[in-house]
């Protein structure tokens, strides 16, 4: 089975489902051709997931595929960009039908859920890794960067944090928890749901945003550095599972990666409006801190911790 | 050294050189933001190069980087798309300053030569591989596919073919040639020049086009299959080095990959015009055959060979 039949067999979908009205040419030529809606800018991101580093060896191929797409779509969501198209470059040690059928099932499950279309890619032989490049669009100048947080802005985060890191700790045998919670946390690790539901809220209210891939402390630090400001977090407000609060497992929420929630800032004058919007639209966001002039600290029940020397998860250094 | 400092140290260029007028946001956020020129379509491609498969172990990192970008730009050229932006996902076994400084030098040498801008990417740890996603644009519906060759169209190819395969044969010790020719052929293998100079010619004259990455026979077959036609090639017309002709090394030109020339078809009525254009614009193209209703053959000095069962180089099967 050669490259071309591989792509055809597992990644070509019936014309109807794989095309959207903006796609002129999909899989099967030198490149794909799409049309960007008028008065929009294009938002592009790429991420590679390597076996043994971004997912454990022997992870279900459905989950590998799902997560590979999810982390890219999460980057688009953090820019407030609507997901549109993606390219897949799949490196495989060998042609394994079982792997490929499960992988493509997970990929299309994710693609359908996120509303993004596979338009091309390549396959090659080598150690298992998955590169996905995702493209979305925003109304002209409607994207949200990391660089625009201001003193007085409130810091918000979507969903729960630390849940994926809890799942990893369980898989690695570092922690024992009940089976219901185990299922939930491993699911969060293996099938993160990028917060595309946050896009309208971000466009309307966010001054800066980033997705949480490397842990709260490190990812917030990117916003602080690029905006030239400081921050104070309130530990008691962090949206974490009861087990993290009760057993004081806060490092999972602060340094654990892979949550793929959105961390964002909102001007003080907009705080009431964003709270109202989140209730009306049923979007789970929590205010966790405030942007200040300098310093990077967190208030716990007993002390003020300096966060400025702590690091987030770095895919090159740890893992 | 973490991922972020790696990207900053080796891949961030001074703002002036890395920005073009269409780039709103480059390296350093969740994603890049660009603007597509009005009334144009977007053309997107991705290719991964794996050590030991697409380039020999211990290849000069400058050449690895140059080639990784060149093969993607070649795909854009084959669609008649103007190169604009690219993303890099670099997987490295370790942080090696010498490797990275040579790699980034080769990457920017190629980027400047091809007129394409690095706008983002990621790095991670793992077996050496390079994924590049390149984006270009074409005037609305100005792209050239593989699917539009018609009976009577003439088949053309740019430049020389088989030169890269000659270089590979020399490196692998299968062939001995004089040092001047060795230098030239190894250069063709390691630093292929994508034919962006062909873009205006293709837009004006090509009915179908593909870039030669897997060898003439296999790549032409894609055009034939997708256009639903056959072809006859004339071996005596193939633009090859004297050594290939004199020593009857035609398999290098027919099955050897990595030439990154453009293979294209032209309506019979346009053949004179394209010949004139190529002289005026000083573009080296050669007519090598004709599209017919069925069959896939090549006329040599002594016989008519059936090419339909021969295969091109397949990165998954061979190599």
ipTM of the shown complex: 0.86
Mutation for testing the A interface, residue in B9, B32, B37, B44 having most A CBs under 10 Å: B44
Strands (E), chain A: 23-25, 32-34, 40-50, 82-92, 117-125, 129-139, 154-158, 206-211, 230-234, 262-266, 285-292, 296-299, 304-306
> What's the pLDDT score for residue B2?
55
| Share of residues in chain B with pLDDT > 70 (%) | 92
Q: Smallest CA–CA separation between B177 and chain A, in Å?
A: 31
CB contacts of B91 in chain A (<8 Å) are 48, 50, 129
Alpha-carbon gap: B68 to the closest alpha carbon of chain A (Å): 13
User: What confidence score (pLDDT) does residue B36 get?
Assistant: 86
Distance from CA of B175 to the nearest CA of A (A): 27
Closest residue in chain A to residue B262, using alpha carbons only: A30
**Measured between beta carbons, which residues in chain A are less than 8 angstroms from residue B148?**
none
User: Would the CB atoms of B48 and A89 count as touching at under 8 Å?
Assistant: yes
**The two three-digit tokens of residue A42, written as one number:** 């294009």
In angstroms, the CA A276 to CA A271 distance is 9
Mean pLDDT by 10 residues, chain A (319 residues): 63 61 77 87 93 84 96 96 94 89 94 93 89 95 94 98 95 91 94 96 97 94 95 97 94 93 98 97 97 96 89 45
Nearest residue on chain A to B85, judged by CA atoms?
A44
Determine whether the interchain pair B41/A50 forms a contact, defined as Cβ–Cβ distance below 8 Å. no
Q: Which of B12, B25, B26, B29 best probes binding to A when mutated, by most A CB atoms within 10 angstroms?
A: B29
Query: Which chain B residues are closer than 8 Å to A222 by Cβ?
Result: 4
pLDDT for B273 beyond 90:
yes
Binary contact (A33, B143; C-beta < 8 A): yes
Contact (CB<8Å) B42/A34: yes
Q: What is the pLDDT of residue B70?
A: 97
**Which helix (H) or strand (E) segment is B155 a member of?**
strand B154-158
For residue B205 the two structure tokens come to 């004259």
Nearest CA in chain B to A211: B30
Q: Which residue, among A41, A46, A47, would best test binding to B if mutated, counting the most B CBs under 10 Å from its CB?
A: A46
Confidence of residue B319 (pLDDT cuts 50, 70, 90): very low
Inform me whether the pLDDT recorded for B212 exceeds 90.
yes
Identify each DSSP E strand in B18-153 by its residue range: 23-25, 32-34, 40-50, 82-92, 117-125, 129-139
Check pLDDT > 50 for residue B197.
Answer: yes
The reported pLDDT for the residue numbered A318 is 35
Q: Which residues of A touch B41 (CB under 8 A)?
A: 24, 33-35
Beta strands in B203-317 (DSSP E): 206-211, 230-234, 262-266, 285-292, 296-299, 304-306
Q: Which of B31, B47, B84, B90 to mutate to test the interface with A (most CBs of A within 10 A)?
A: B31
Residues of A in contact with B210 (CB under 8 A): 30
Mind telling me how many Å the CA of B246 is from chain A's nearest CA? 33
Contacts of B124 (CB under 8 A, 6+ apart): A48, A50, A53, A54, A315, A316, B3, B89, B90, B91, B92
Choose the mutation target among A26, A133, A214 for the interface with B, i.e. most B CBs under 10 Å.
Answer: A133
Q: What band does B42 get if pLDDT is binned at 50, 70 and 90?
A: very high
Select from B50, B41, B9 the least CA-distant residue to B27: B9
Confidence (pLDDT) at A40: 93
Cβ–Cβ below 8 Å for A210 and B28: no
Residue B4 has pLDDT above 60, yes or no: no
* Pairing between β-strand B285-292 and β-strand B230-234 as defined by DSSP bridges: antiparallel
> B94-143: per-residue pLDDT in tens?
888 899 999 999 999 999 999 999 998 888 888 899 999 999 999 999 99
- Own/partner pairs for B303-311, CB < 8 Å, 24+ apart? B304/B232, B307/B217, B307/B221, B307/B233, B307/B254, B308/B221, B310/B217, B310/B218, B310/B254, B310/B255, B311/A2, B311/B217, B311/B218, B311/B255
How far off is chain A from B229, nearest CA to CA, in Å? 16
The confidence score (pLDDT) of residue B243 equals: 95
Task: Count residue pairs from A and B with Cβ separation < 8 A.
Answer: 230
Q: Do A147 and B29 touch (CB under 8 A)?
A: yes
Report d(CA A10, CA B165) in Å as an integer. 31
Non-local CB neighbours of A38 within 8 Å, separated by 6+ positions: none
**pLDDT (mean) for B238-254:** 95
Contacts of A228 (CB under 8 A, 6+ apart): none
Instruction: For residue B44, give the nearest of A87, A124, A127 by CB distance.
Output: A87
**pLDDT band of B318, cuts 50, 70, 90:** very low
Measured from the Cβ of residue B177, the count of other Cβ atoms closer than 10 Å reads 17
What's the CA gap between B297 and B304, in Å, rounded? 6
Helix, strand, or coil here: A233? Answer: strand
- pLDDT over 90 (residue B283): yes
Q: From the CA of A246, how many Å to the nearest CA of chain B?
A: 33
**Distance separating alpha carbons of residues B168 and B186, to the nearest angstrom:** 7
Contacts of B169 (CB under 8 A, 6+ apart): B175, B252
Q: Cβ A125–B76 below 8 Å, yes or no?
A: no
pLDDT band at B313 (very low <50, low <70, confident <90, very high): very low
A31 with B81: Cβ contact below 8 A? yes
Query: Within 10 A of B99 (CB to CB), how many other CB atoms are there?
Result: 18
Q: How far apart are CA B264 and CA B261, in angstroms?
A: 10
Residue linked to tokens 């970008």: B69
Using only C-alpha atoms, what is the Rg of chain A?
Answer: 20
3-state SS class at A226: helix
What is the least distance, in Å, from the CA of A67 to any CA of chain B?
16
- C-alpha span between B222 and B219 (Å, rounded): 5
């Amino acid at each position: 089975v050669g490259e071309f039949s591989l792509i055809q067999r597992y990644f070509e979908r019936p014309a109807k489902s794989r095309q959207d009205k903006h796609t002129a040419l999909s899989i099967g030529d030198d490149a794909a051709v799409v049309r960007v809606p008028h008065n929009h800018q294009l938002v592009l991101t790429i991420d590679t997931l390597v076996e043994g580093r971004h997912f454990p060896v022997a992870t279900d191929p459905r989950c590998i595929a799902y997560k590979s797409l999810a982390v890219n779509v999460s980057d688009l969501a953090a820019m407030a960009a609507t997901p549109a198209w993606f390219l897949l470059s799949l490196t495989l040690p060998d042609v394994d039908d079982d792997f490929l059928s499960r992988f493509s099932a997970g990929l299309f499950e994710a693609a359908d859920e996120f509303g993004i279309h596979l338009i091309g890619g390549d396959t090659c032989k080598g150690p298992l890794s998955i590169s996905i490049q995702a493209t979305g669009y925003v109304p002209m100048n409607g994207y949200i960067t990391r660089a625009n947080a201001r003193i007085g802005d409130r810091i918000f985060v979507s969903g729960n944090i630390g849940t994926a890191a809890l799942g990893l700790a369980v898989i690695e045998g570092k922690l024992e928890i009940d089976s219901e919670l185990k299922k939930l946390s491993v699911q969060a690790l293996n099938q993160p749901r990028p917060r595309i539901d946050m896009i309208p809220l971000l466009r309307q209210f966010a001054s800066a945003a980033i997705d949480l891939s490397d842990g709260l402390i490190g990812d917030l630090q990117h916003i602080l550095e690029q905006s030239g400001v400081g921050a104070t977090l309130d530990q008691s407000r962090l949206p974490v599972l009861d087990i993290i609060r009760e057993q004081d497992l806060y490092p999972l929420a602060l340094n654990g990666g892979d949550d793929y929630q959105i961390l964002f800032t909102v001007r003080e004058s907009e705080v009431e409006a964003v709270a109202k919007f989140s209730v009306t639209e049923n979007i789970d966001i929590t205010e966790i801190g405030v942007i200040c002039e300098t310093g990077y600290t967190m208030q716990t029940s007993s002390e003020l911790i300096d966060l400025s020397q702590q690091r987030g998860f770095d895919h090159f250094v740890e893992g």
